[in-house]
Amino acid sequence: MLSYILRRVLAAIPVMIFVALFVFLLLRLSPGDPAAIIAGDTATPEQLEQIRERLGLNDPLLVQFADWGWRLLQGDFGESILSGTPVTSMIADRMEPTISLALTTIVLSIVIAVPLGVIAAWKHGTIIDRVVMAISVLGFSVPVFVIAYVLIQVFAINLKWLPVQGFTSIFDDPGTFAQRITLPTLTLTSLYIALIARITRTSMLETLGEDFVRTARAKGLAERRVLMKHALRNSAVPIVTVIGIGFALIISGVVVTESVFNLPGIGRLTVDAVLARDYPVIQGVILLASLLYVGINLLIDIAYVILDPRIRYA
């Protein structure tokens, strides 16, 4: 197992180098001039040239990439072009809202979606199965921002139960945190319930047709025990996979939800950086998301061994 983990970590190095190179070239070769954004519309050509020289934008691309890569190896993601704040500090300040939203979303999705998927597979072909699948299709079909605005209209404007915007740390005021995180969580949960429920149902249907499930039933075991201990446990590998990937997707893809609910998270930081052509911030966020994907995939592979003892890594 340790040798496998080491190989996976080493294999991730060229992947991260390729991602860094791709992001660097994509940003540098796309239209737009950070110096013009910093200097404003009234800047003279001389002022623009001074800013480009100060930021190193006049250096050859290879020199810029080598300098940036060397600083990355030292843990320095650079400084924001606009504010001069270290990128690591900016990302750290925005992590709590995004992680809070991701954790509440994935926990609520698992609590609701896994039982729904199990019940749909157990009652395959019945009205219950069709209702669960209809909910899944609806969750996939409706855009996230539409669900967000519907929830805002119902729970914030009409019923006045919950606030629309803002974020409060759970460490400062747990009650206010729960109120402000509820609507964003429900918005994203609608999508991930659909995803996890469908995967759970599909995996359970395959497992329920296996010989060991029929043997368990023939022994007279209670249906609940057959479903939970035998079928669900042996269906856990694809379910864990989609949950892990979903968690990474939530953290790196909450741009719309954070924008609608005005959450000061990574998604909002990314939007602001893209609009301002703030190269260091964009690069730092994308590299963080890539590293997150690699790390979660590694954890998923390790979880396979725990969930299914038949799986062994040389």
| Averaged pLDDT of the chain | 83
Q: Are 193 and 112 in contact (CB under 8 A)?
A: yes
Last residue of a domain, one of 44, 73, 102: 73
Per-residue confidence (pLDDT) for residue 311, from 0 to 100:
64
Last residue of a domain, one of 39, 73, 107: 73
Q: What is the dihedral of CA 141, 145, 146, 150, to 10 degrees?
A: 130
**53/107 same-domain check:** no
**35/182 same-domain check:** no
Per-residue confidence (pLDDT) for residue 142, from 0 to 100:
83
Q: Is 83 helix (H, G, I), strand (E, B) or coil?
A: coil
Distance between the two ends of the chain, CA-based, in angstroms? 7
**23/102 same-domain check:** no
Q: What is the CATH number of the domain that holds 224?
A: 1.10.3720.10
**66/121 same-domain check:** no
pLDDT tens digits for 5-46? 777 778 778 888 888 888 777 767 766 666 776 666 677 777
Residue 34 forms part of a structural domain: yes
**149/187 same-domain check:** yes
Tally of structural domains, the chain: 2
Query: And the tokens for 118?
Result: 């199990």
pLDDT tens digits for 168-212? 888 888 999 999 999 999 998 888 888 899 899 989 988 888 888
* Sequence-ordered alpha helix ranges (H) in 56-152: 61-73, 87-122, 127-141, 144-151
Report the run of H or E that residue 219 belongs to, with start and end: none
**58/113 same-domain check:** no
Last residue of a domain, one of 73, 103, 135: 73
Residue 314 forms part of a structural domain: no
**109/30 same-domain check:** no
**67/175 same-domain check:** no
Question: b/e for 53-87, b at 16 or more Cβ within 10 A?
Answer: eebebeeeeeebbeebeeebeeeebbbbbbeeebb
Domain hosting 184: range is 88-307
Nearest to 72 by CA among 7, 23, 5, 8: 23
> Above pLDDT 70, what percent of the chain?
92
**111/243 same-domain check:** yes
Residue 79 forms part of a structural domain: no
**102/212 same-domain check:** yes
